[in-house]
Amino acid sequence: MPDAFRILLVDDSETVTEMLSWLLGSAGYAIETAGDGVKGVRAAFRSIPDIVVMSTRLPRLGGIQACRLLKADPATRDVPVILLTSEEAGEDRIHAARAGADRILLWDASPEEALPAVRECLAGRAPRPEGGADPGVAPPPDDIEILSRVNGVLEATLFEASLLNEIAHVGREVDDFEATARALFRLLREISPAEAMGAVFSDGVYSEGVSVFPDEAGDPFQAEVRRRTERLRDEAGIPFAPDRALWTGIQGGFRGSDGVAPGSLVPRAVCTVRAGEMVKGLMTVYSGIGGAAPGGAATKEPLLRQAFMVLENAWLYRQIARISVTDGLTGLTNVRHFREQMQREHIRARRHNDPYSVLMMDIDHFKKINDLYGHPVGDIVLREMAAIFREAVRLTDLPARYGGEEFIVILPRTRLPEAAIVGERIREAVERKVFAAPSPMLRCTVSVGIADYLPGTEGTEKTVIGRADQALYSAKSGGRNRVVCRPAPEE
């Protein structure tokens, strides 16, 4: 039968071997047999079969270990393996699935079960040529080498399982998002050379990119990690809206970018994670050191996938916390949380004799925008306006939506002259902005009121907000599109 599929049947029971040989041979398959696991592996390497059917319990080398070895070798990893077990359920089935078996059957399976399983495994395949192995392939290994290879595969599997457990341990022990990212990357880079890690998460509404880099990494290095991760995000089709996308850069708590030439970073491994048709995100590790190549335990997809899941859990937990203090339309802090933070800042400033300033901003003639273009366009204006405010202030400042078309910002450790510069920068940025709207092009302006707190002056944070509100009223009544300051009264 030169064109028949060749089945390697491995079992130490003469009864089972004769029964399956007759059953499969009657169906037109060519049968080769082996009586133990070592002989079966040697036969598979000598003349690569189209499919292997073997028992889980074999002398010298069990079927599960033999399956794991065949699936780990490039020459035989695509050969389907059906494992036969005497257990309806139990550890045999679990270990067989982990070893990569394509099917698991009871050793006394009926022809109605065995033959369809073989046909399914061979569907879409063509019989291998007689001899099976490609020309020039090394001779089959001897018994000692086979057992040595099995030990190597088992050690690698155990190591991977241990690393997966370490990654899961990080998720159980660390609950802060940035600390989790640092711990995961330090763990991964102990196994495989890497100078940076990038990740992207998306919940369908908000998305966030994350990069972890060495402590001394400069702006060009950080920008390259972000740029490459954003490119991978776009290639993977991860959904994101520019006005609802954040980026977090995290110093990893290690040194290591000295040997990386500018522009040399490349992704050594990328894992894209999906949930059905939706792409949830990705994780990648980068290296720019010459000679580093893909490979190693840390670059295997299961490890990156596990690390992604642990970090995603921390991200989702942080998202829940963010949502509770965030305005749903603009993504800025909501007014309730702003008031809490404002009170804390006032207490801190009084204790440390620090100044701070407050900016209040109102979009000029916003009602006309809603009346002329409709509320959906008005919402776009509010979101894009929030992006301008976010971009114009420092990370230590806190912009918030105060209500309707009114916004407010705390500027810690900032006196009135510096705050006025920020206010003017915001006013000019808004004036230059062309907002997304139907023709004609939509432009807006804002009025800005500013007040400050000086150490030693009386009043509460509400007093400072009240003076900023008065300054805003003056800006509106004075012609709009201007900045008005109301300084703290000198004692």
| One domain for residues 113 and 186 | no
- Are 388 and 351 in a shared domain? yes
Instruction: Please identify which residue in the block is written with the tokens 């977090």.
Output: 248
- DSSP code of residue 299: G
- Among 305, 324, 343, the domain boundary falls at 324
- In the predicted model, what is the mean pLDDT of residues 265-287? 88
Q: Is residue 158 part of a domain?
A: no
- As for how many domains the chain has, the answer is 3
> pLDDT confidence of 367, banded at 50, 70, 90?
very high
Which backbone phi and psi does 242 adopt, to 5 degrees?
-55, -35
Does residue 168 lie in a domain region? no
Same domain, 301 and 374: no
Predicted local confidence at residue 295, as pLDDT:
46
Q: What pLDDT does residue 486 have?
A: 93
Pairing of strands 245-251, 81-85: unpaired
User: What pLDDT sits at residue 138?
Assistant: 59
109-143: pLDDT as tens digits: 777 788 899 999 999 888 887 654 454 455 667 76
Q: Tell me, yes or no, whether 446 lies in a domain.
A: yes
Q: Are residues 386 and 313 in the same domain?
A: no
Distance of CA 229 to the CA centre of its chain: 10
DSSP three-state, residue 110: coil
The answer, yes or no, to whether residue 233 has pLDDT greater than 50, is yes
pLDDT at 460: 92
Range of the domain at 178: 173-324
pLDDT tens digits, residue range 459-468? 899 999 999 9
Q: How many residues does the chain have?
A: 491
pLDDT at 420 over 90: yes
Which of these three, 324, 354, 374, is where a domain ends? 324
Same domain for 385 and 314? no
> Which DSSP state fits 397?
S
Q: How many CB atoms lie within 10 A of CB 169?
A: 13
- Of 93, 64, 95, 94, the closest CA to residue 81 belongs to 64
Q: For residue 280, is it within any domain?
A: yes
Are residues 425 and 301 part of one domain? no
Say if residue 115 is in the same domain as residue 224: no
- Residue type present at position 255: R
Give the CA angle between residues 379, 385, 387 to the nearest 5°. 110
Q: Are residues 303 and 403 in the same domain?
A: no
Q: Considering the domain boundaries, does residue 314 fall inside one?
A: yes
- pLDDT category, 290, cuts 50, 70, 90? low
Prediction pTM value: 0.54
Asked if residue 1 is part of any domain, the answer here is: no
Asked whether residue 378 falls in the same domain as residue 309, the answer is no
pLDDT > 70? residue 286: yes
3-state secondary structure of 481: coil
189: pLDDT confidence band, cut at 50, 70 and 90? confident
Asked if residue 310 has pLDDT above 60, the reply is yes
Residues 281 and 345 in one domain: no
**Helix axis angle, 37-46 to 63-72, nearest 10°:** 30
* Residue 100 dihedral angles phi and psi, to the nearest 5°: 100, 15
Higher pLDDT: 398 or 159? It is: 398
Say what the pLDDT of residue 481 is. Answer: 96
Alpha helices in 105-261 (DSSP H): 111-122, 143-173, 177-189, 219-236
Query: Which of 276, 305, 324 finishes a domain?
Result: 324
d(C-alpha 281, C-alpha 136), whole Å: 43
Both tokens of residue 106?
């009871």
**Within this chain, do residues 124 and 187 fall inside the same structural domain, yes or no?**
no
The DSSP output letter for 487 is P
Residue 362 domain-assigned (yes or no): yes
Domain containing residue 464: CATH number: 3.30.70.270
Beta carbons within 10 angstroms of residue 141's beta carbon: 18
pLDDT-derived band at 262, boundaries 50, 70, 90: low
For 134-174, the pLDDT digits (tens) are: 544 556 677 677 777 766 666 666 666 667 777 787 777 77
Between 237 and 189, residue with greater pLDDT: 237
CATH number of the CATH domain containing 288: 3.30.450
For residues 48-70, average pLDDT: 89
What would the mean pLDDT of 401-408 be, rounded to a whole number?
94
Same domain, 339 and 475: yes
329 in a structural domain = no
